[in-house]
Amino acid sequence: MDHAKQHEEGLLANVIAEQLKHKIQSMEYKAGDRLPVRKLCEDFNTSETPVKQALNQLAATGLVVATPKCGMRVRTFTFSDMKNVLEARLMIEQFCARDAVLRVRRDADYADLMRGTLEESDRCYRRCIESFTKENFIRAHETDGKLHSGLVGASQNPEIVNLYRTLNTHAGMFTSFEKHTPKTLQQVIRQHDDIVGALLLCDTDGLRSALEMHLRSTLQILGGDG
């Protein structure tokens, strides 16, 4: 296969992956639904290669899973799944808190990046409060992911960053749409402000405490006992 065709198929795979992601997040494809390659090829009027590449992309982000003899299915996110991921997130993010504080002290650009990411996240959450739609909610959680990933990235440790990425920490958060209210989203804004506030004040203990409060609160919203 020539490079031009590979490039074209790669671009098409990206498009298909985005469309499938939207269908999953909007619940058009529900948890447990099969995603047969042949049917998707018909839907997107394309060959198997870009479809398989798109499904592999979504598998890497945790939205779909491969099942023996059944191919790909939309992942089912249980409360237990979410709890396990949130607890792993807390462990990693708290571990990286010291590195994030040290980086703020020596890198003004990083401090500006985190400040700007917080502002973007707050705007998205306020927009969601004003218009509580699934689309706005998903966008808010995308910026939420950027904020938390920015903390972990401060470690500049590729093994830690990759471990955090493979947790697919925000993959299933769209499923919490029905658990949230405008009041709980206001709470998220305050908690994010506390997290970045402690970071910019170079308060490592305060940052770790704010992270724990935020993630434990998220567990309670999702229906656990925190």
pLDDT digits (tens, 9 = 90+) for 1-19: 577 777 677 788 999 999 9
Q: At what angle do helices 108-130 and 79-106 cross, to 10 degrees?
A: 140
Pair (107, 149) in one structural domain: yes
Q: How many independent structural domains does the chain possess?
A: 2
**Direct distance between the N- and C-terminal alpha carbons of the chain, in angstroms, rounded to an integer:** 53
Q: Please report, for the domain that includes residue 124, its CATH number.
A: 1.20.120.530
Pair (200, 159) in one structural domain: yes
Tokens of 50: 């870009």
Pair (196, 157) in one structural domain: yes
pLDDT at 11: 84
Quote the radius of gyration of the chain (alpha carbons, Å): 19
Last residue of some domain: 53, 74, 95? Answer: 74
Alpha carbons 26 and 21: distance in angstroms, whole number: 8
**Residue 46 CB partners (closer than 8 Å, separation 6+):** 12, 16
Pair (37, 13) in one structural domain: yes
Pair (89, 69) in one structural domain: no
SS3 125: helix
Could you give the C-alpha distances from 99 to 105, 106, 116, 222, in angstroms and in order? 10, 11, 19, 29
Pair (59, 155) in one structural domain: no
Pair (144, 190) in one structural domain: yes
Indicate the pTM of the whole model.
0.85
Q: Which residues of the chain have pLDDT under 70?
A: 1, 7, 224-226
Pair (52, 158) in one structural domain: no
Structural domain that includes position 170: 79-222
Alpha carbons 134 and 174: distance in angstroms, whole number: 8
Pair (37, 83) in one structural domain: no
Pair (68, 163) in one structural domain: no
Q: What is the distance of C-alpha 75 from the center of its chain?
A: 15
Q: What is the DSSP letter of 78?
A: -
**Closest C-alpha to 40, from 29, 26, 27:** 29
Pair (52, 96) in one structural domain: no
Pair (150, 211) in one structural domain: yes
